[in-house]
Chain A
Amino acid sequence: MSLALSQKTIGNIQVLVLAGEIDAQTLPPLEGKLQELLDKGHYSFVLDFQQVSFIASAGLGVLMSVIGTIQENNGDLVIASAQPEVYRTFDLLDFTTLFKFTDSVAAGVALFPNAAGVQGD
């Protein structure tokens, strides 16, 4: 099992579509992509978790390591369409207080004030 990662942009929001399992083996590409986008000044993220069947604490750690920088820059990271067991892993560690969760990517995108594509300053 691996983790497939694709990226699309809706307005100024970076949507990362993940598919597979997130653990210490599979997460380096996700970590690298998030860092690359942060380095380019992107701070608005929706992560599409619909096809993620498993996440270990290593994956939560990576998301935690970027949320501080994201929020300091008035951005956010929303997790969309998480499966119940994956959501439960977040919940067991109280990470549900750190990230917003939505039922769909569209609902996640709509949480951003400038979702219409107007670049915030």
Chain B
Amino acid sequence: MEDAHQSADSPSFKPISVSLPSDVSYLDIARTFVADVGNKVGLLASEIHDLQLAVTEAVTNVIEHAYAGDSSQRIELAFEKAGECFTIVITDNSGNRFDPVNYPEPDMKEYLSQYRAGGLGLFLMRKLMDQVEFFSDSSGTNHLRLIKRVKS
């Protein structure tokens, strides 16, 4: 190949999405889907693991908090890659808007000294991803956008 200049996205990855029940017994399928998409895009195993962990945390939070444990609802995961940015958007229709301002990063030293369990998902997502953004629209739909810069 004399001219190695190719599009950064070659071979092109078309956006893909999947809808899951709001039920923790589908967390494993969410991770399997993340791995399948990650492998198709050519991500590193460590990148796929980070994305699986972030998606597990995001979906668990939606199930337990946004939907308050109601397993009859739906959660959509949408994936796209643009340049070096791999983006996953997690969407729920709970109407329960999440305001991350109310959840500042915990002081882990203080947190650990108090043996507080739970509430670590958002903190972990922020550690794993380059960008974590929440936005909602007037119809009660919430979106969580996770962006990770990837090497492939």
Residues of A participating in the B interface, judged by any CB pair closer than 8 Å: 1, 21, 23-25, 54, 56-58, 60-62, 64-65, 67-68, 85, 89, 92-95, 97-98
User: A60: which B residues are within 8 A, CB to CB?
Assistant: 120
Interface size class of B (residues with CB under 8 A): 20 to 34
B117 touches A64 (CB 8 A): yes
The interface residues of chain A, by DSSP majority, are classed as helix
Beyond A24-B60, A92-B124, 7 additional pairs, beta carbon < 8 A: A23-B27, A23-B56, A24-B64, A25-B27, A64-B112, A93-B120, A93-B127
A23–B73 Cα distance when bound, in Å, is 20
- Complex formed: what's the CA distance from A54 to B61 in Å? 17
Chain A residues within an 8 Å CB radius of B56 = 23, 54, 56
Contacts of A61 in B (CB 8 A): 117-118, 120
How many Å lie between the Cα of A116 and that of B151 in the bound state? 50
Q: Which residues does B use to contact A, with CB under 8 Å?
A: 24-25, 27-28, 31, 46, 49, 52-53, 56-57, 60, 63-64, 108-109, 112, 115-118, 120-121, 123-124, 127-128
How far apart sit A65 and B118, CA to CA, in the bound complex (Å)? 9
Q: Complex Cα distance A21/B60, Å?
A: 14
In chain A, what residue has the closest Cβ to B116?
A: A64
A12 to B52 alpha-carbon distance, docked (Å): 37
A40–B127 Cα gap in the complex (Å)? 38
Give bound CA distance, A23 to B23, whole Å. 12
A64, B115: Cβ atoms under 8 Å?
yes
Q: Tell me which of B63, B112, B123 contacts A97 (CB under 8 A).
A: B112
Contacts of A95 in B (CB 8 A): 112
Contacts of B109 in A (CB 8 A): 94
B127 to chain A, nearest CB (A): 5
Chain B residues, Cβ within 8 Å of A89: 53, 124
A-B contact pairs, 9 of them (CB 8 A): A25-B27, A54-B49, A56-B121, A58-B118, A61-B120, A64-B117, A89-B53, A89-B124, A94-B112
Give bound CA distance, A65 to B27, whole Å: 22
> Which of chain A's residues have a CB closer than 8 A to the CB of B124?
57, 89, 92-93
- Least Cβ distance of A62 to chain B in Å? 7
For the complex formed, measure the closest distance between the CB of B112 and the CB atoms of chain A, giving whole angstroms: 6
A24-B64, A25-B25, A62-B117 given as contacts; is B53 within 8 A of A93 (CB)? no
Contact of A56 with B112 in the complex, beta carbons under 8 Å: no
Bound complex: CA A8 to CA B49 (Å): 30
Interface residue from B28, B46, B115, B123 paired with A85 (Cβ < 8 Å): B46
State the CA gap A28–B28 with chains docked (Å). Answer: 15
